[in-house]
């Protein structure tokens, strides 16, 4: 992090609205921030034992 920014990822717009997209398709979960894909995660073994589950989001407070 630098110059007062709360997030080091250049795709995140500090102090502005950000657009998030999450796609869960089978064992694969993909995440985008402001139109840029940032993660693609998958685990076939867990998906076989838990084909239906919940997704939780954690948002940290931004200060003020």
Q: Show the tokens assigned to 62.
A: 């931004």
Q: What is the pLDDT of residue 8?
A: 62
Smallest CA-to-CA distance from 28 within 61, 57, 63, 55 is with: 55
Q: Decide: 36 and 10 in contact? Cβ < 8 Å.
A: no
Asked if the structure places residue 2 within a domain, the reply is no
Condensed to tens digits (0 to 9), the pLDDT of residues 9-51 reads 778 888 899 999 999 999 999 999 999 999 999 999 989 998 8
How many CB atoms within 10 Å of residue 5? Answer: 13
Asked if the structure places residue 62 within a domain, the reply is no
Asked if the structure places residue 26 within a domain, the reply is yes
Q: Show the tokens assigned to 26.
A: 């089978």
Q: What is the pLDDT of residue 1?
A: 35
Range of the domain at 18: 7-50
Please check the confidence at residue 56 and state whether its pLDDT lies above 50: yes
Smallest CA-to-CA distance from 13 within 4, 21, 5 is with: 5
3 versus 1: the higher-pLDDT residue is 3
Q: What is the pLDDT of residue 42?
A: 95
Q: What domain count does the chain have?
A: 1
């Amino acid at each position: 992090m630098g110059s007062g920014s709360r997030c080091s990822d250049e795709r995140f717009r500090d102090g502005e609205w950000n657009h998030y997209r999450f796609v869960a398709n089978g064992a694969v979960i993909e995440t985008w921030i402001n139109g840029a894909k940032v993660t693609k995660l998958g685990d076939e073994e867990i998906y076989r034992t838990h084909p239906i589950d919940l997704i939780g989001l954690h948002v940290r407070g931004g200060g003020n």
